[in-house]
Every structure is written in C-alpha cells, then in structure tokens.
Amino acid sequence: MTQQTLQPQTPPVTRRTIAAWAMWDIGDAAFNAIMTTFVFAVYLTSSAFGDPAHASSVMSTGLTLAGLLIALLAPVTGQRSDASGRRAFWLGFNTLAAAVLMGLCWFAAPSPDFLLLGVTLICIANVLNEFAFVNYNAVLPEISTRENVGRISGIGWASGYFGGIVALALVLVFFIGLGDSGGLLGIPTGNSENIRAVAIFSALWCTVFSLPILIALARRDRARPALTAGERVSFVQSYKNLFLTLKRLYRQAPQTLYFLLASAVFRDGLTGVFTFGGILAAGTFGFTTTQVIIFAIVGNIAAGVGALVGGKLDDAVGPKRVIIGSLAGILVAAAPLLFSQATWLFWICGLFLCLFVGPAQSASRTYLSRLTPAGQEGEIFGLYSTTGRATSFLAPGLFTLFVTVLGAQIWGILGIMVVIGVGLLLVLPLAPAPRQVRLSDTPQS
C-alpha cells in the first residue's frame, strides 16, 4: 500500500465543520432528554399504561435487553465503520433510523395494550442511537488536534446540555403547557396526543440538527481513496482484532485497561441517574409532566455548572479525586430519597445528583486522556466508548431487580446506587493520573 493510501488527503477542518459536529449533539439531546429521560419514558411508565411499577419494570427490562445487544455489537460497529471508509453513511443510517423510530412512537396510545409497542420502539432506537454515538465519537480525532481536542470535545458536551435545555423548553411551551393543557399549539390532551406529538417533534429535531455533520462528512469521505476489498474483515475477525487490542493493553498498559473497566461501571450508573430520574419523579414523587420538564431544565443547568467547576478542580487536584468525590456525592445525595417521598426533598437531592454527574463524566474522560500515548487517541477512546456500551445493561438490570423484588418503584434507586458504589470501589485502587507534560506535547523550538 502506498503512503497516500495509508494517510489519504482530506479537506482541511474548518470552524463550520466543528460547529456541524457539535450540532449533532444538540440533535441527539432530543432522544436523551425528551424520549428516554424526562418526557416520553415518563409517559410510558405512567398510570395510563397500567400499574406504574409494572410499566417501569417492562421499560427497564427492555433497556436491559437493549444494553445486552449493544454489548454484543457495539465493540465492532465503529471498527467496521472505519474499515469501510463510510463513516458518514453509518452515522447517518443509525441517526436517521433512530429518528424514524422516535416518530413512530406517536402510535403508542395511552393504553396497556400499547406499552410493549412503545417500549420496543424506544429500546431499538436506543441501540441505533448508541451505534451512531460510536461513529460520532470517532469523528473527534479527525476534526481536532492535540492542542484543541479538549476544547472541541467540551464544545460538543456543552452543546448537548444546551440542546437538551432548549428542546425541553420548547416541548414545555408548545406541547405540554404550564398546566398540562396542551401548550401554545393547542394539541388535544384527551388521548395524550400532545405527548405523542412530542415524539414527532423529537424525530424532526434530531434529523435537522444531524444534517450539517452528515453533509460535511460525506464531502470528506468522497475525498478519501476507496478502500480495497482486502481491508474488509468479517465480524469474527473484528472481534479477534478487539481481543488483540485488549491483550496488548493487559501486557503494556494495565492501568489503562483497568480504568476502562472501572469507568464502564460507574459511567453506566451515571447514565442511570438521568435515565430513571424523570421516571421516579413522576411515578414516586408525584411530579406532573410540566414539573418533570421544569426539573429537567434546571437539572441540565446544574449538570453543566458541575462540569465547569469540576474541570477547574480537575486541573488543581487531579481527575481521580474529582471522580471519587463526585461518585461519593451521588451516593450521599441519593440516600435520603429512600426514606422520604417529599417533593421538596427530590428537588434538593435530584439537583445535587445532577451537579455531581457532570464532573464525574468530564473527569473520567480527562483521566483517560492523561494515560493515552500520543498517536493512540483514536484507538483508546474508541475502546472507551465500547466498554461503556458493553456495561449499559447494569443500571437498568439492577433497577428492574430491586423494583421487582421489593415491589415499589422507589427501590430502583438502590439498584443505581449499587452500580455507582461498585464503580467507586473500583476507582479507589487506581493510581493518580500522570500530570506531567508528555514529550510529544512539548512545543519544538
């Protein structure tokens, strides 16, 4: 193979491309904030679909199965996308397919007969959205350098929070209304048409904000030479390549491999905080749909503030201490909710939970970046994404277990706390991340 084939020429990265990349995260906020956390998932687990505890159990079971499917397939989806040279296609396919499934959630009418339909659509969309996120993360090394990768990554992270706040505000004003009256659009509420219409809005929001990066990537993909058929590998070979990478890390960088496994556990717990926060707010603490959305907006603001403050602490004391402090803070904030279902208590504890989630997520990525040798960022951060997906069944699975065994939705919190607690115990033995500047990062005279 020629050097040009190994390092094909691509158009230079512009601020427009970076902005387009960040806009995808704005679009994806519709799925995460509206569909799976604060609006549609709350609707599917409400009394409109029967006993809320049973509906919550069905939802968490579906998410558990989706997580297992992700665990089986996600480790090789990004790898195969790279090998095919069609990253724009696979990012677009998974994103738009997930958007179609979101739109189909309109047909999940408020009846126990439609619970399985709604849960199935959400869970399949979740799988496709995770696959899209693998491709989305893989774009970051292409549009950044070692000097600005943190800033660009932060722009994407902040865009997701911002997109969630704006999307939730629009849903509240135009679809829900401050009194659950249907909002400014005047959509009927008798058969939950206004809530079901939110699914269509989410699909359109996701599609519109995804188009810029899909167009930009399509142009860059066309500028690359086509890969030869010999470079394509089977699914079996893809898994063999994955295990070879893990074997190399085990021998040469055991701390990196251990952190990948530890962070996969506590990151799933962090996801569980947001995934089941809205469900618990409505099902256990009596929040109306309007109150859930208002809480979600304030919670996103708290998470963003926490990420900013945590970033400064990260530079001062190191990412390990920030992770430990954040995970411990989550456990302390969640514990009172097991003993009282007062609305005011959920507001206080819930916002503290959001405040601690942001720094834990940010410091996790920073810790790994301090361990990653120059030139291996794409490989290591790709594995970071796949290990996180591989454990995405833990929080939903334990949430289901505790709700089923103890017979009340509130005990699902204990399942999430178990995942966070195990993650915290796994982080404690880790050595602090190296703080010195690597030789590859030192400016040359």
Q: How far apart, in whole angstroms, are the C-alpha atoms of residue 194 and residue 414?
A: 33
Closest-CA residue to 416 (of 248, 255, 288, 279): 279
Provide CB contacts within 8 A for 286, sequence distance 6+: 341, 343
The crossing angle, in degrees rounded to 10, of helices 377-390 and 115-139 is: 170
Domains detected in the chain: 12-432 (1.20.1250.20)
> Averaging pLDDT over each range in 46-55, 173-182, 300-309, 417-426, which range is the top one?
417-426
The encoded tokens of residue 333 equal 């904030």
Which pLDDT band holds residue 204 (cuts at 50, 70, 90)? Answer: very high
pTM: 0.76
Q: How far apart, in whole angstroms, are the C-alpha atoms of residue 20 and residue 35?
A: 23
Q: How far apart, in whole angstroms, are the C-alpha atoms of residue 52 and residue 55?
A: 5
**Per-residue pLDDT tens digits for 265-296:** 999 999 888 778 888 888 888 888 788 888 88
Q: How far apart, in whole angstroms, are the C-alpha atoms of residue 277 and residue 281?
A: 6
**Per-residue pLDDT tens digits for 339-356:** 888 889 999 999 999 889
Query: Does the pLDDT of residue 422 top 80, yes or no?
Result: yes
Tokens 């990151």 locate to 267
Provide CB contacts within 8 A for 203, sequence distance 6+: 30, 99, 100, 102, 103
Tokens 């939705």 locate to 409
